[in-house]
Protein backbone atom coordinates (compact mmCIF):
# COMPACT_ATOMS: atom_id res chain seq x y z
CA UNK A 1 0.00 0.00 0.00
CA UNK A 2 1.25 3.54 -0.77
CA UNK A 3 1.74 5.28 2.57
CA UNK A 4 2.33 8.89 3.50
CA UNK A 5 4.23 8.73 6.78
CA UNK A 6 3.90 11.73 9.07
CA UNK A 7 6.53 12.31 11.72
CA UNK A 8 10.20 13.25 12.00
CA UNK A 9 11.55 11.25 14.95
CA UNK A 10 13.16 7.88 15.49
CA UNK A 11 9.87 6.03 16.02
CA UNK A 12 8.63 7.28 12.66
CA UNK A 13 11.79 6.24 10.87
CA UNK A 14 11.68 2.79 12.46
CA UNK A 15 8.07 2.36 11.32
CA UNK A 16 9.08 3.46 7.83
CA UNK A 17 11.65 0.66 7.60
CA UNK A 18 9.16 -1.83 8.92
CA UNK A 19 6.52 -0.79 6.39
CA UNK A 20 9.00 -1.28 3.56
CA UNK A 21 9.87 -4.76 4.90
CA UNK A 22 6.15 -5.60 4.89
CA UNK A 23 5.81 -4.63 1.25
CA UNK A 24 4.27 -1.19 1.73
CA UNK A 25 5.83 1.74 -0.03
CA UNK A 26 6.41 4.99 1.80
CA UNK A 27 5.86 7.71 -0.80
CA UNK A 28 7.04 10.44 1.56
CA UNK A 29 7.90 11.03 5.17
CA UNK A 30 7.31 14.49 6.56
CA UNK A 31 6.68 16.26 9.83
CA UNK A 32 3.84 18.58 8.87
CA UNK A 33 0.77 17.94 6.80
CA UNK A 34 -1.86 20.23 5.33
CA UNK A 35 -4.71 19.49 2.90
CA UNK A 36 -2.55 20.92 0.09
CA UNK A 37 -0.35 17.85 0.38
CA UNK A 38 -3.21 15.54 -0.59
CA UNK A 39 -2.81 16.14 -4.32
CA UNK A 40 0.96 16.38 -4.20
CA UNK A 41 1.55 12.67 -3.64
CA UNK A 42 -0.08 9.51 -4.85
CA UNK A 43 -0.99 7.54 -1.74
CA UNK A 44 -3.73 5.44 -0.22
CA UNK A 45 -3.05 5.73 3.51
CA UNK A 46 -1.70 8.20 6.03
CA UNK A 47 0.10 7.00 9.14
CA UNK A 48 0.39 9.78 11.72
CA UNK A 49 3.00 9.48 14.43
CA UNK A 50 1.45 12.16 16.54
CA UNK A 51 4.17 13.39 18.93
CA UNK A 52 6.70 13.54 16.08
CA UNK A 53 4.50 15.55 13.71
CA UNK A 54 2.35 18.63 13.49
CA UNK A 55 -1.09 17.91 12.04
CA UNK A 56 -4.60 19.01 12.88
CA UNK A 57 -7.56 16.62 12.95
CA UNK A 58 -9.23 18.96 10.41
CA UNK A 59 -6.51 18.15 7.88
CA UNK A 60 -7.05 14.44 8.48
CA UNK A 61 -10.81 14.86 8.00
CA UNK A 62 -10.06 16.52 4.65
CA UNK A 63 -7.91 13.53 3.71
CA UNK A 64 -10.68 11.09 4.77
CA UNK A 65 -13.11 13.06 2.61
CA UNK A 66 -10.83 12.32 -0.29
CA UNK A 67 -10.96 8.62 0.45
CA UNK A 68 -7.59 8.27 2.19
CA UNK A 69 -7.25 5.67 4.95
CA UNK A 70 -5.90 6.97 8.24
CA UNK A 71 -3.92 5.30 11.02
CA UNK A 72 -2.75 6.99 14.18
CA UNK A 73 0.12 6.34 16.58
CA UNK A 74 -0.39 8.55 19.65
CA UNK A 75 0.15 8.56 23.39
CA UNK A 76 -2.69 8.38 25.89
CA UNK A 77 -3.87 11.91 26.62
CA UNK A 78 -2.62 13.11 23.24
CA UNK A 79 -5.42 15.08 21.50
CA UNK A 80 -4.85 13.04 18.34
CA UNK A 81 -5.50 9.85 20.26
CA UNK A 82 -8.86 11.08 21.57
CA UNK A 83 -9.78 12.32 18.09
CA UNK A 84 -8.95 8.91 16.62
CA UNK A 85 -10.96 7.10 19.29
CA UNK A 86 -13.93 9.39 18.81
CA UNK A 87 -13.81 8.96 15.05
CA UNK A 88 -13.20 5.22 15.17
CA UNK A 89 -9.92 5.60 13.27
CA UNK A 90 -7.47 2.76 14.02
CA UNK A 91 -4.98 3.95 16.64
CA UNK A 92 -2.15 2.41 18.66
CA UNK A 93 -0.10 3.74 21.58
CA UNK A 94 3.07 5.83 21.32
CA UNK A 95 5.79 4.72 21.60
CA UNK A 96 4.44 1.50 20.13
CA UNK A 97 5.37 -1.81 21.73
CA UNK A 98 5.89 -4.84 19.48
CA UNK A 99 2.28 -5.79 20.12
CA UNK A 100 1.14 -2.29 19.07
CA UNK A 101 3.29 -2.37 15.97
CA UNK A 102 1.85 -5.71 14.94
CA UNK A 103 -1.63 -4.41 15.58
CA UNK A 104 -0.91 -1.43 13.33
CA UNK A 105 0.42 -3.67 10.55
CA UNK A 106 -2.62 -5.92 10.94
CA UNK A 107 -4.99 -2.93 10.65
CA UNK A 108 -3.15 -1.83 7.52
CA UNK A 109 -3.44 -5.29 6.00
CA UNK A 110 -7.15 -5.43 6.80
CA UNK A 111 -7.67 -2.03 5.25
CA UNK A 112 -5.73 -3.00 2.15
CA UNK A 113 -7.85 -6.12 1.79
CA UNK A 114 -10.89 -3.85 1.71
CA UNK A 115 -12.12 -4.53 5.24
CA UNK A 116 -11.83 -0.90 6.19
CA UNK A 117 -13.61 0.88 3.44
CA UNK A 118 -12.92 4.48 2.52
CA UNK A 119 -16.61 5.36 2.79
CA UNK A 120 -16.69 4.08 6.35
CA UNK A 121 -13.60 6.07 7.26
CA UNK A 122 -15.10 9.17 5.69
CA UNK A 123 -18.26 8.71 7.71
CA UNK A 124 -16.48 8.12 10.96
CA UNK A 125 -13.91 10.84 10.43
CA UNK A 126 -16.40 13.57 9.55
CA UNK A 127 -19.21 12.55 11.92
CA UNK A 128 -17.53 10.68 14.76
CA UNK A 129 -18.25 6.99 15.27
CA UNK A 130 -21.25 7.48 17.58
CA UNK A 131 -23.19 9.64 15.15
CA UNK A 132 -22.11 7.56 12.20
CA UNK A 133 -23.66 4.48 13.83
CA UNK A 134 -26.86 6.42 14.62
CA UNK A 135 -27.22 7.64 11.07
CA UNK A 136 -26.52 4.20 9.67
CA UNK A 137 -29.27 2.68 11.76
CA UNK A 138 -31.79 5.44 11.15
CA UNK A 139 -32.64 4.87 7.51
CA UNK A 140 -36.35 4.59 6.95
CA UNK A 141 -36.48 4.27 3.16
CA UNK A 142 -33.46 2.89 1.39
CA UNK A 143 -34.69 2.19 -2.14
CA UNK A 144 -35.69 5.49 -3.66
CA UNK A 145 -37.03 6.13 -7.16
CA UNK A 146 -37.20 9.73 -8.34
CA UNK A 147 -39.64 10.31 -11.15
CA UNK A 148 -42.16 12.76 -12.56
CA UNK A 149 -45.19 12.57 -14.79
CA UNK A 150 -43.76 15.35 -17.01
CA UNK A 151 -40.31 16.01 -18.44
CA UNK A 152 -37.95 18.73 -17.28
CA UNK A 153 -39.41 19.16 -13.79
CA UNK A 154 -36.08 18.68 -12.04
CA UNK A 155 -35.81 14.90 -11.47
CA UNK A 156 -32.12 14.74 -12.28
CA UNK A 157 -31.36 17.92 -10.34
CA UNK A 158 -33.18 16.52 -7.28
CA UNK A 159 -31.65 13.03 -7.64
CA UNK A 160 -28.11 14.40 -7.91
CA UNK A 161 -28.46 16.92 -5.09
CA UNK A 162 -30.22 14.44 -2.82
CA UNK A 163 -27.48 11.88 -3.42
CA UNK A 164 -24.67 14.38 -2.82
CA UNK A 165 -26.41 15.71 0.31
CA UNK A 166 -26.77 12.21 1.77
CA UNK A 167 -23.22 11.25 0.82
CA UNK A 168 -21.68 14.41 2.26
CA UNK A 169 -23.65 13.76 5.45
CA UNK A 170 -21.97 10.38 5.81
CA UNK A 171 -24.50 8.03 4.20
CA UNK A 172 -23.14 5.67 1.55
CA UNK A 173 -25.29 6.45 -1.45
CA UNK A 174 -25.66 4.52 -4.70
CA UNK A 175 -26.99 6.71 -7.51
CA UNK A 176 -28.31 5.04 -10.66
CA UNK A 177 -29.29 6.69 -13.93
CA UNK A 178 -32.44 4.66 -14.65
CA UNK A 179 -33.87 7.11 -17.16
CA UNK A 180 -34.66 4.91 -20.14
CA UNK A 181 -34.85 7.98 -22.40
CA UNK A 182 -31.08 8.56 -22.06
CA UNK A 183 -30.44 10.40 -18.81
CA UNK A 184 -27.88 13.05 -18.01
CA UNK A 185 -26.38 11.86 -14.76
CA UNK A 186 -22.84 11.40 -16.04
CA UNK A 187 -22.76 15.03 -17.16
CA UNK A 188 -23.97 16.30 -13.81
CA UNK A 189 -21.29 14.27 -12.03
CA UNK A 190 -18.60 14.92 -14.66
CA UNK A 191 -17.87 11.21 -14.99
CA UNK A 192 -15.13 10.50 -17.49
CA UNK A 193 -14.01 6.98 -16.71
CA UNK A 194 -16.60 4.62 -15.29
CA UNK A 195 -16.53 0.95 -14.31
CA UNK A 196 -19.64 0.22 -16.32
CA UNK A 197 -23.13 1.54 -17.07
CA UNK A 198 -26.66 0.27 -16.66
CA UNK A 199 -26.84 -0.78 -20.30
CA UNK A 200 -23.47 -2.52 -19.85
CA UNK A 201 -24.85 -4.50 -16.92
CA UNK A 202 -28.02 -5.37 -18.84
CA UNK A 203 -26.03 -6.66 -21.82
CA UNK A 204 -23.84 -8.74 -19.53
CA UNK A 205 -26.92 -10.16 -17.85
CA UNK A 206 -28.40 -11.07 -21.22
CA UNK A 207 -25.18 -12.67 -22.39
CA UNK A 208 -24.76 -14.70 -19.18
CA UNK A 209 -28.23 -16.29 -19.24
CA UNK A 210 -27.05 -18.76 -16.63
CA UNK A 211 -29.28 -20.61 -14.24
CA UNK A 212 -29.50 -18.83 -10.89
CA UNK A 213 -28.21 -20.80 -7.95
CA UNK A 214 -27.09 -19.51 -4.59
CA UNK A 215 -23.44 -18.92 -5.47
CA UNK A 216 -24.18 -17.02 -8.61
CA UNK A 217 -26.62 -14.81 -6.70
CA UNK A 218 -23.87 -13.97 -4.21
CA UNK A 219 -21.36 -13.37 -6.97
CA UNK A 220 -23.91 -11.15 -8.68
CA UNK A 221 -24.27 -9.04 -5.53
CA UNK A 222 -20.56 -8.29 -5.66
CA UNK A 223 -20.72 -7.66 -9.40
CA UNK A 224 -23.51 -5.13 -8.91
CA UNK A 225 -21.52 -3.27 -6.26
CA UNK A 226 -18.42 -3.28 -8.44
CA UNK A 227 -20.42 -1.84 -11.30
CA UNK A 228 -20.64 1.49 -9.45
CA UNK A 229 -17.94 4.10 -9.87
CA UNK A 230 -16.83 5.75 -6.62
CA UNK A 231 -16.19 9.48 -6.78
CA UNK A 232 -12.61 10.02 -5.73
CA UNK A 233 -13.47 13.25 -3.94
CA UNK A 234 -16.53 11.84 -2.15
CA UNK A 235 -15.99 8.19 -1.21
CA UNK A 236 -19.55 7.81 0.13
CA UNK A 237 -21.04 8.45 -3.33
CA UNK A 238 -21.12 5.64 -5.93
CA UNK A 239 -22.59 6.23 -9.35
CA UNK A 240 -23.89 4.09 -12.21
CA UNK A 241 -24.58 5.96 -15.47
CA UNK A 242 -27.40 4.72 -17.68
CA UNK A 243 -28.19 4.67 -21.36
CA UNK A 244 -27.08 7.03 -24.10
CA UNK A 245 -29.19 7.80 -27.16
CA UNK A 246 -27.49 5.06 -29.20
CA UNK A 247 -28.61 2.43 -26.66
CA UNK A 248 -32.32 3.15 -26.81
CA UNK A 249 -33.17 0.44 -29.35
CA UNK A 250 -31.01 -2.21 -27.68
CA UNK A 251 -32.60 -5.65 -27.76
CA UNK A 252 -31.91 -6.21 -24.07
CA UNK A 253 -34.54 -3.56 -23.35
CA UNK A 254 -37.15 -5.95 -24.75
CA UNK A 255 -36.43 -8.47 -21.99
CA UNK A 256 -38.47 -7.35 -19.03
CA UNK A 257 -37.43 -10.20 -16.74
CA UNK A 258 -33.72 -9.48 -17.27
CA UNK A 259 -34.22 -5.77 -16.70
CA UNK A 260 -36.12 -6.46 -13.49
CA UNK A 261 -33.40 -8.80 -12.28
CA UNK A 262 -30.70 -6.18 -12.79
CA UNK A 263 -32.67 -3.32 -11.23
CA UNK A 264 -33.58 -5.45 -8.21
CA UNK A 265 -29.97 -6.62 -7.96
CA UNK A 266 -28.76 -3.01 -7.84
CA UNK A 267 -31.26 -2.03 -5.13
CA UNK A 268 -30.43 -5.11 -3.06
CA UNK A 269 -26.68 -4.79 -3.42
CA UNK A 270 -26.68 -1.15 -2.27
CA UNK A 271 -28.97 -1.83 0.67
CA UNK A 272 -27.08 -4.89 1.83
CA UNK A 273 -23.87 -2.87 1.70
CA UNK A 274 -25.49 -0.56 4.26
CA UNK A 275 -26.36 2.22 1.86
CA UNK A 276 -29.23 4.04 0.22
CA UNK A 277 -29.99 3.54 -3.48
CA UNK A 278 -31.42 6.40 -5.54
CA UNK A 279 -32.67 5.84 -9.08
CA UNK A 280 -33.33 8.72 -11.47
CA UNK A 281 -36.37 7.31 -13.32
CA UNK A 282 -37.69 8.81 -16.56
CA UNK A 283 -41.22 9.96 -17.17
CA UNK A 284 -42.90 7.08 -18.97
CA UNK A 285 -43.98 4.47 -16.36
CA UNK A 286 -44.61 1.94 -19.15
CA UNK A 287 -40.89 1.79 -20.03
CA UNK A 288 -39.38 -1.51 -18.82
CA UNK A 289 -36.53 0.14 -16.92
CA UNK A 290 -38.86 2.65 -15.26
CA UNK A 291 -41.43 0.02 -14.39
CA UNK A 292 -38.82 -2.19 -12.74
CA UNK A 293 -37.33 0.74 -10.77
CA UNK A 294 -40.76 1.91 -9.57
CA UNK A 295 -41.99 -1.56 -8.72
CA UNK A 296 -39.16 -2.35 -6.31
CA UNK A 297 -38.87 1.12 -4.74
CA UNK A 298 -39.71 1.72 -1.08
CA UNK A 299 -40.10 5.43 -1.74
CA UNK A 300 -41.23 7.12 -4.95
CA UNK A 301 -40.38 10.81 -5.11
CA UNK A 302 -42.57 12.62 -7.63
CA UNK A 303 -40.93 15.88 -8.65
CA UNK A 304 -43.34 18.44 -10.04
CA UNK A 305 -43.61 22.15 -10.52
CA UNK A 306 -46.60 23.71 -8.78
CA UNK A 307 -48.28 24.40 -12.11
CA UNK A 308 -51.55 23.14 -13.59
CA UNK A 309 -50.03 20.98 -16.39
CA UNK A 310 -47.86 19.13 -13.83
CA UNK A 311 -50.76 18.78 -11.40
CA UNK A 312 -53.03 17.38 -14.09
CA UNK A 313 -50.42 14.81 -15.13
CA UNK A 314 -49.75 13.87 -11.51
CA UNK A 315 -53.45 13.31 -10.97
CA UNK A 316 -53.54 10.98 -13.97
CA UNK A 317 -50.33 9.22 -12.94
CA UNK A 318 -51.59 8.47 -9.43
CA UNK A 319 -55.06 7.44 -10.64
CA UNK A 320 -53.57 5.12 -13.25
CA UNK A 321 -51.23 3.55 -10.75
CA UNK A 322 -53.95 2.98 -8.16
CA UNK A 323 -56.43 1.62 -10.68
CA UNK A 324 -54.02 -0.82 -12.25
CA UNK A 325 -52.85 -2.01 -8.83
CA UNK A 326 -56.44 -2.25 -7.56
CA UNK A 327 -57.16 -4.78 -10.28
CA UNK A 328 -54.49 -7.02 -8.80
CA UNK A 329 -54.49 -6.46 -5.04
CA UNK A 330 -57.78 -4.69 -4.36
CA UNK A 331 -58.63 -1.07 -3.88
CA UNK A 332 -57.59 -0.51 -0.29
CA UNK A 333 -54.21 -2.25 -0.66
CA UNK A 334 -53.59 -0.22 -3.78
CA UNK A 335 -54.26 2.97 -1.82
CA UNK A 336 -51.97 1.83 0.94
CA UNK A 337 -49.18 0.87 -1.45
CA UNK A 338 -49.22 4.17 -3.28
CA UNK A 339 -49.93 6.33 -0.21
CA UNK A 340 -47.03 4.88 1.75
CA UNK A 341 -44.57 5.19 -1.10
CA UNK A 342 -45.28 8.44 -2.87
CA UNK A 343 -43.36 11.49 -1.62
CA UNK A 344 -44.36 14.67 -3.40
CA UNK A 345 -41.59 17.13 -4.12
CA UNK A 346 -42.61 20.54 -5.42
CA UNK A 347 -39.70 22.08 -7.28
CA UNK A 348 -38.92 25.60 -8.46
CA UNK A 349 -41.34 26.96 -5.93
CA UNK A 350 -41.70 30.72 -5.64
CA UNK A 351 -43.30 32.12 -2.50
CA UNK A 352 -46.10 29.97 -1.12
CA UNK A 353 -47.83 29.37 -4.44
CA UNK A 354 -47.44 25.61 -3.95
CA UNK A 355 -50.13 25.67 -1.25
CA UNK A 356 -53.00 26.39 -3.63
CA UNK A 357 -51.46 24.01 -6.16
CA UNK A 358 -51.38 21.24 -3.57
CA UNK A 359 -55.00 21.93 -2.62
CA UNK A 360 -55.98 21.65 -6.30
CA UNK A 361 -54.25 18.29 -6.57
CA UNK A 362 -55.99 16.97 -3.47
CA UNK A 363 -59.38 18.12 -4.74
CA UNK A 364 -58.77 16.54 -8.12
CA UNK A 365 -57.81 13.22 -6.53
CA UNK A 366 -60.89 13.34 -4.32
CA UNK A 367 -63.02 13.83 -7.44
CA UNK A 368 -61.45 10.64 -8.78
CA UNK A 369 -62.47 8.90 -5.51
CA UNK A 370 -58.83 8.58 -4.50
CA UNK A 371 -58.42 9.17 -0.80
CA UNK A 372 -54.73 9.69 -0.21
CA UNK A 373 -53.32 11.84 2.54
CA UNK A 374 -50.50 13.20 0.41
CA UNK A 375 -48.40 15.96 1.90
CA UNK A 376 -45.83 18.19 0.20
CA UNK A 377 -42.76 16.28 1.42
CA UNK A 378 -40.37 18.53 -0.46
CA UNK A 379 -40.73 22.23 -1.24
CA UNK A 380 -37.63 23.25 -3.16
CA UNK A 381 -37.25 26.92 -4.08
CA UNK A 382 -36.34 28.28 -7.46
CA UNK A 383 -32.58 28.79 -7.71
CA UNK A 384 -30.77 31.51 -9.66
CA UNK A 385 -30.39 30.14 -13.23
CA UNK A 386 -26.72 31.17 -13.29
CA UNK A 387 -26.06 28.80 -10.41
CA UNK A 388 -28.05 25.92 -11.92
CA UNK A 389 -26.18 26.42 -15.19
CA UNK A 390 -22.79 26.32 -13.47
CA UNK A 391 -23.93 23.27 -11.50
CA UNK A 392 -23.83 21.28 -14.72
CA UNK A 393 -21.65 23.33 -17.11
CA UNK A 394 -18.53 24.19 -15.13
CA UNK A 395 -15.60 21.82 -15.00
CA UNK A 396 -15.92 21.26 -11.24
CA UNK A 397 -18.41 18.74 -9.94
CA UNK A 398 -18.26 20.54 -6.61
CA UNK A 399 -20.43 23.19 -8.29
CA UNK A 400 -23.43 20.86 -7.86
CA UNK A 401 -25.73 23.14 -5.85
CA UNK A 402 -25.61 21.48 -2.44
CA UNK A 403 -21.89 20.75 -2.66
CA UNK A 404 -21.25 24.35 -3.61
CA UNK A 405 -23.31 25.52 -0.67
CA UNK A 406 -21.13 23.50 1.65
CA UNK A 407 -17.92 24.96 0.20
CA UNK A 408 -18.89 28.56 -0.43
CA UNK A 409 -21.89 29.14 1.84
CA UNK A 410 -23.54 31.29 -0.85
CA UNK A 411 -26.44 32.94 0.90
CA UNK A 412 -28.75 32.54 -2.09
CA UNK A 413 -28.32 28.73 -1.89
CA UNK A 414 -29.25 28.58 1.82
CA UNK A 415 -33.02 28.09 1.30
CA UNK A 416 -32.38 25.36 -1.32
CA UNK A 417 -29.99 23.51 1.01
CA UNK A 418 -32.40 23.73 3.92
CA UNK A 419 -35.36 22.53 1.83
CA UNK A 420 -33.36 19.72 0.25
CA UNK A 421 -32.27 18.36 3.62
CA UNK A 422 -35.88 18.64 4.80
CA UNK A 423 -36.89 16.43 1.87
CA UNK A 424 -33.99 14.02 2.50
CA UNK A 425 -35.17 13.56 6.10
CA UNK A 426 -38.32 11.82 4.79
CA UNK A 427 -36.02 8.99 3.67
CA UNK A 428 -33.22 9.12 6.26
CA UNK A 429 -34.59 10.89 9.33
CA UNK A 430 -31.18 11.30 10.99
CA UNK A 431 -29.64 13.01 7.99
CA UNK A 432 -29.99 16.53 9.36
CA UNK A 433 -27.66 15.70 12.25
CA UNK A 434 -24.91 14.63 9.87
CA UNK A 435 -25.67 17.53 7.56
CA UNK A 436 -25.32 20.09 10.30
CA UNK A 437 -22.06 18.50 11.45
CA UNK A 438 -20.57 18.85 7.96
CA UNK A 439 -21.94 22.35 7.36
CA UNK A 440 -24.76 21.65 4.93
CA UNK A 441 -27.45 23.41 6.89
CA UNK A 442 -27.77 27.16 7.04
CA UNK A 443 -27.55 28.65 10.53
CA UNK A 444 -30.95 28.57 12.25
CA UNK A 445 -32.91 31.70 11.46
CA UNK A 446 -33.27 34.04 14.42
CA UNK A 447 -36.67 33.69 16.06
CA UNK A 448 -38.72 36.77 15.44
CA UNK A 449 -39.53 38.52 18.66
CA UNK A 450 -43.04 39.85 19.09
CA UNK A 451 -41.95 42.05 21.93
CA UNK A 452 -40.48 45.42 21.08
CA UNK A 453 -37.92 45.91 18.34
N1 LIG B 1 -34.92 24.30 -8.08
C2 LIG B 1 -34.56 24.72 -9.30
N3 LIG B 1 -34.35 26.04 -9.53
C4 LIG B 1 -34.01 26.46 -10.76
N5 LIG B 1 -33.84 25.69 -11.82
C6 LIG B 1 -34.04 24.37 -11.66
C7 LIG B 1 -34.40 23.82 -10.40
N8 LIG B 1 -34.52 22.48 -10.56
C9 LIG B 1 -34.24 22.21 -11.85
N10 LIG B 1 -33.95 23.33 -12.53
C11 LIG B 1 -33.62 23.47 -13.95
O12 LIG B 1 -34.66 22.88 -14.72
C13 LIG B 1 -34.13 22.22 -15.87
C14 LIG B 1 -34.60 20.77 -15.89
O15 LIG B 1 -34.04 20.09 -14.78
P16 LIG B 1 -33.66 18.55 -14.83
O17 LIG B 1 -32.82 18.23 -15.99
O18 LIG B 1 -33.17 18.21 -13.47
O19 LIG B 1 -35.12 17.95 -15.04
P20 LIG B 1 -35.53 16.45 -15.41
O21 LIG B 1 -36.88 16.27 -14.83
O22 LIG B 1 -34.47 15.51 -15.01
O23 LIG B 1 -35.59 16.53 -16.99
P24 LIG B 1 -35.72 15.30 -18.04
O25 LIG B 1 -37.18 14.96 -18.07
O26 LIG B 1 -35.22 15.88 -19.29
O27 LIG B 1 -34.88 14.19 -17.51
C28 LIG B 1 -32.64 22.36 -15.78
O29 LIG B 1 -32.23 23.43 -16.57
C30 LIG B 1 -32.38 22.67 -14.31
O31 LIG B 1 -31.22 23.42 -14.12
MG1 LIG C 1 -33.42 14.04 -16.11
In CATH, 137-304+383-437 is 3.40.50.300:
yes
Report the separation in Å between the CA atom of 316 and the middle of ligand 1, taken as the mean of its atom positions: 22
Ligand 1 pocket: which of 152, 384, 410 to mutate (most atoms within 8 A of CB) = 152
Which ligand is closest to the CA of 420, given by its number? 1
Nearest CA to ligand 1 atom 11: 154
Highest mean pLDDT among 126-135, 258-267, 323-332, 410-419: 410-419
Which ligand is closest to the CA of 304, given by its number? 1
Which atom of ligand 1 is the closest one to the Cα of 388?
31
| CA–CA distance, 282 with 156 (Å, rounded to integer) | 9
Mean pLDDT computed over 195-207: 88
pLDDT at 453: 43
Percent of the chain topping pLDDT 90: 54
For 155-164, how does the pLDDT look when each residue is reduced to its tens digit (9 = 90+)?
Answer: 999 999 999 9
pLDDT at 245: 84
Which atom of ligand 1 is the closest one to the Cα of 160?
18
Quick one: pLDDT band at residue 212, thresholds 50, 70, 90?
Answer: low
> Which has more pLDDT, 215 or 108?
108
For 14-69, how does the pLDDT look when each residue is reduced to its tens digit (9 = 90+)?
Answer: 999 999 999 999 999 998 898 888 888 899 999 999 999 988 888 998 898 888 99
| CATH code, 2-116 | 3.40.50.720
For 62-91, how does the pLDDT look when each residue is reduced to its tens digit (9 = 90+)?
Answer: 898 888 999 999 988 888 988 888 887 899
Other beta carbons less than 10 A from residue 395's beta carbon: 6
Quick one: pLDDT band at residue 452, thresholds 50, 70, 90?
Answer: very low
Nearest CA to ligand 1 atom 12: 154
pLDDT at 449: 55
Ligand 1 pocket: which of 147, 150, 154 to mutate (most atoms within 8 A of CB) = 154
Nearest CA to ligand 1 atom 10: 154
Quick one: pLDDT band at residue 140, thresholds 50, 70, 90?
Answer: confident
pLDDT at 211: 53
- Do the first three CATH levels of 2-116 and 137-304+383-437 match, i.e. the same topology? yes
Which atom of ligand 1 is the closest one to the Cα of 380?
1
> Which has more pLDDT, 135 or 298?
298
At residue 248, does pLDDT exceed 80?
A: yes
The residue ranges of every structural domain in the chain are 2-116, 137-304+383-437
Q: Are 224 and 201 in contact (CB under 8 A)?
A: yes
Amino acid sequence: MQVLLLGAGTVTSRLGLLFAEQGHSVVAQMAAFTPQHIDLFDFRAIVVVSPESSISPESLVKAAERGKLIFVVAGVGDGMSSWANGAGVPAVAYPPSDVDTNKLLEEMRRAEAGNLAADDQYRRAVLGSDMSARIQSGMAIRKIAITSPKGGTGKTTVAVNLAVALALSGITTYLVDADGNAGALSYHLRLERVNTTLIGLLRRELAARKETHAMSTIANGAAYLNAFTTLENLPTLKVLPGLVTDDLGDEVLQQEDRVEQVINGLYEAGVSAGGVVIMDVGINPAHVVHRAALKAAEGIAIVIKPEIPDLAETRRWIARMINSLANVVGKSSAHEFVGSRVKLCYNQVVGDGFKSAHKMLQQALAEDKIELALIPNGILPNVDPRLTAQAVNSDRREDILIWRYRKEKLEELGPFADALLGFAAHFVPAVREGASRVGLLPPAAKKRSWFGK
